[in-house]
Amino acid sequence: MLKGKRIKLAPLERKHIDHFLKWFNDPEITQYLTIYKPMTRDWEEEWFSNLKTREDSVYFSIQIIDEEDQDKIIGNCAIQDINNKNRACSCGITIGEKVYHNKGFGTEAMEMLVEYGFNTLNMNRIELSVYEFNTRAFKTYRKVEFVEEGRKRQAWYHNGKYHDEIIMAILREDWENKAKE
Ligand SMILES: CC(C)(COP(=O)(O)OP(=O)(O)OC[C@H]1O[C@@H](n2cnc3c(N)ncnc32)[C@H](O)[C@@H]1OP(=O)(O)O)[C@@H](O)C(=O)NCCC(=O)NCCS
């Protein structure tokens, strides 16, 4: 478990599936994700059961540090596609509890996830992608020092229109330079 100032990154547990079903069936959340089909309990349970065999990924729940409620899950995040030759990976985040949006929790979780990627997994490069209309996520990633590297033009069809997918990444050297500031 990784402990931050206001949140902790803790293991994902089967009991969290109810939360995932709520978040990943909510179009206000899924519009920003690759998910577009209805999410079923069967699918979530199968996905969860397969997690332990996924050598290339590390998943966390994002929980508020609250002495009274020990398991206040507000989202999840992950390091994925770990490539140990290139020391590169991708990452992703969802704060599924919407009342916790825009309160700095996403930025704090991404900072912790990136630190884990560099300091524990010994990655050199952490990549992500974000749809161009997700200005809140783009701003969050910029705050963590992810850099826009390019755009896959019209790669994502959503709500009757094509949108660019923005590729962003942070290198170990970016992160170390930020720490020196
Ligand atoms: C994206 C997400 C992780 C960000 O986490 P968060 O806790 O809401 O974000 P934070 O409060 O840390 O930071 C958001 C920043 O964006 C800004 N912001 C919010 N809405 C904005 C908008 N429409 N346009 C521009 N900036 C916006 C906020 O003001 C804040 O910046 P500031 O600290 O300089 O004021 C979270 O909102 C989320 O999970 N959303 C739904 C799923 C999703 O989009 N996942 C990412 C897919 S790539």
How much is the average pLDDT of 173-178? 94
pLDDT at 179: 86
Q: What is the CA(144)–ligand 1 centre distance, in A? A: 12
Secondary structure (H, E, C), the chain:
CEECCCEEEECCCHHHHHHHHHHCCCHHHHCCCCCCCCCCHHHHHHHHHHHCCCCCCEEEEEEECCCCCCCEEEEEEEEEEEECCCCEEEEEEEECCHHHCCCCHHHHHHHHHHHHHHHCCCCCEEEEEEECCCHHHHHHHHHCCCEEEEEEEEEEEECCEEEEEEEEEEEHHHHHHHHHC
Q: What is the CA(106)–ligand 1 centre distance, in A? A: 7
Q: What is the CA(40)–ligand 1 centre distance, in A? A: 27
Question: What is the number of the ligand 1 atom nearest to the C-alpha of 105?
Answer: 7
- pLDDT confidence of 70, banded at 50, 70, 90? confident
pLDDT at 69: 76
Task: Name the residue of 102, 127, 129, 165 to mutate for ligand 1: max ligand atoms within 8 A of Cβ.
Answer: 102
**Number of structural domains in the chain:** 1
Higher-confidence residue: 3 or 69?
3
pLDDT at 151: 98
Amino acid at position 113, single letter: L
Q: What is the CA(134)–ligand 1 centre distance, in A? A: 8
How much is the average pLDDT of 15-27? 97
Higher-confidence residue: 68 or 26?
26
How much is the average pLDDT of 128-133? 98
Secondary structure (H, E, C), 55-91:
CCCEEEEEEECCCCCCCEEEEEEEEEEEECCCCEEEE
Residues at CB less than 6 angstroms from ligand 1: 29, 32-33, 75, 93-95, 101-107, 130, 134-137, 139-140
Q: Reply yes or no on whether the pLDDT at 63 is more than 90.
A: yes
Q: Reply yes or no on whether the pLDDT at 11 is more than 90.
A: yes
Q: Domain of 13?
A: 2-180
Task: Name the residue of 7, 77, 140 to mutate for ligand 1: max ligand atoms within 8 A of Cβ.
Answer: 140
- CATH number of the domain that residue 109 is part of: 3.40.630.30
Q: What is the CA(25)–ligand 1 centre distance, in A? A: 20
Q: What are the pLDDT digits (tens) for 116-129? A: 999 999 999 999 99
Q: Reply yes or no on whether the pLDDT at 71 is more than 80.
A: no
